[in-house]
Structure 1
Amino acid sequence: MGERRIRKMLRQMESGEPVRVTGAMATTTKLARSAAMARQFGYEYADVRQDGGPQGKQYVVVIVPDPTPEARARAARNRSRYPRAADGGELPRLAPEAVELLKARITFDITAMYTDRQRIVLAGVGAVPLALPVGLVLGSGGMTVVLTVLAWAAVMALLPVGFAVNRRFEAKYAALLRAAGFTPVTDPEGRLRYLPPGGRLPGHGSPFAG
């Protein structure tokens, strides 16, 4: 995430409200760096969603105020050291290990965002605009429908490969988080999440629930 977007995020955080962070072609590393910077000024990573950008397909990280005394003290310390961080001044340096852990959390949350059944439905709908041009270009009359259906089936046949890749990523980042002392919990939507030691899901005793 570029410095311009980082500084915009810091200005939005001055409201004390939950903030949504995204950007064009934002990678999980860039999103993790944004969340890590927000942590320096009293916010914490809450969740990642896929509803950003003009078509609603970009990933959006949600950060919320962290009400713990440690977070309040860290924020006050960094506001004193970096008074112009939001307006072009010096920014705090981020610990690479903190960024990597946030990247692991964000990536795991992305892999656990949908169930296999939901992925099948989404893939089935998404495969239609991919298959239709094949039928229109290669077929005519009744063959258009036949070729479109065949192309759709070919795309759907790749789903098991996608599921296997997703599970491998999920297992990889779950292992990294467990090794770092993170605890698996189930959120109100039934999703498996990993929280840092002493961490709580937004809304569980926090007045700043997003």
Structure 2
Amino acid sequence: MSDRHVLKMLRQMASGRWSVEVAPAMATTKEFARLAAIAQQFGYEYAGIRRGSGYVMSFVPDLGPQARARAAHNWAQYPHASDGGARPPLAPEAIDLLKARITFDMSALYGNQVLRSIGLVGALLVFGLLRGTTPTVFAGIACAVLVVGVPLGLAVNRHRRAKCTALLQAAGFIPMTDRNGRLRYVPPGQLPGYGDPNAGRA
């Protein structure tokens, strides 16, 4: 992930935008977590991640008094952060917790992707049977890959999700269901409307 994504994010936050989205073309979960940790230093909170052409991570202002005070302090101490200047140091434990939250959210997206893939292959198989040999062969190969890959992928996904759950619960994060029906873990004492970029608008 290039630094330009960090600068673009900070410029939007400096302008006071309510909802900020960042979509690095290629980023690891740790890089996403680092981005979210920087956002926290300047008064914004990780609100969720979704699929676009890649992954799109969103942030909303953290209206808690501690977050407001931290943001005011950091903008005063690092006035050129959004122009490529110095930024406050990041705590490794904060990055680890954000990585767990982001990974947990991504695991739900992975499950949805698997279901879509199964549906697509099923449709391709039916199409192949109706149209001829070649599409049927491709559909058969895809089905074989899914038979092997899906159970393995789901098992890895469950393990990763359980590991993140344990870490977040130990840190006091609270499970909640968002407006899309997805289970999320939010920081203790989080204000109502968390994760909804439209919450709090006039």
Aligned residue identity for 2:47: A
Q: Which residue of 1 aligns with 2:74?
A: 78
Q: What is the rounded CA distance, in whole Å, between the counterparts of 2:27 and 2:122 in structure 1?
A: 24
Cα offsets for 1:110-146 (capped at 9, x unmatched):
1023656x632334427989x9xxx9xxxxx954244
Q: Which residue of 2 aligns with 1:138?
A: none
Q: Which residue of 2 aligns with 1:154?
A: 144
Q: What is the rounded CA distance, in whole Å, between the counterparts of 2:201 and 2:66 in structure 1?
A: 16
Gapped runs of 5+ residues in structure 1? 136-140
Matched, 1:30 2:31: yes
Q: What is the rounded CA distance, in whole Å, between the counterparts of 2:132 and 2:117 in structure 1?
A: 27
Q: What is the rounded CA distance, in whole Å, between the counterparts of 1:205 and 1:8 in structure 2?
A: 21
Q: Secondary structure at the match of 1:67?
A: coil
Q: Is the 8 A contact 2:78 2:86 kept in 1?
A: yes
Q: Which residue of 1 aligns with 2:114?
A: 119
Matched, 1:64 2:60: yes
Q: Over aligned residues, Cα RMSD in angstroms?
A: 2.7
Following superposition, the deviation at residue 70 of structure 1 comes to 1.2
Q: Is the 8 A contact 2:174 2:187 kept in 1?
A: yes
Greater helix percent: which structure? 2
TM-score (normalised: structure 1): 0.82
Following superposition, the deviation at residue 149 of structure 1 comes to 2.9
Q: What is the rounded CA distance, in whole Å, between the counterparts of 1:127 and 1:85 in structure 2?
A: 50
Range with greater deviation from structure 2 (184-193 or 103-112): 184-193
Q: Which residue of 2 aligns with 1:207?
A: 200
Matched, 1:7 2:3: no
Following superposition, the deviation at residue 27 of structure 1 comes to 1.1
Q: What is the rounded CA distance, in whole Å, between the counterparts of 1:14 and 1:168 in structure 2?
A: 38
Aligned residue identity for 1:164: A
Question: Identity across aligned pairs (percent)?
Answer: 52
Gapped runs of 5+ residues in structure 2? none
Q: 1:205 to 1:156 in 2, by over 3 A?
A: closer
Q: Which residue of 1 aligns with 2:154?
A: 163
Matched, 1:177 2:168: yes
Q: Is the 8 A contact 1:47 1:62 kept in 2?
A: yes
Q: Which residue of 1 aligns with 2:22?
A: 21
Q: Is the 8 A contact 2:121 2:142 kept in 1?
A: no
Q: Secondary structure at the match of 2:27?
A: coil
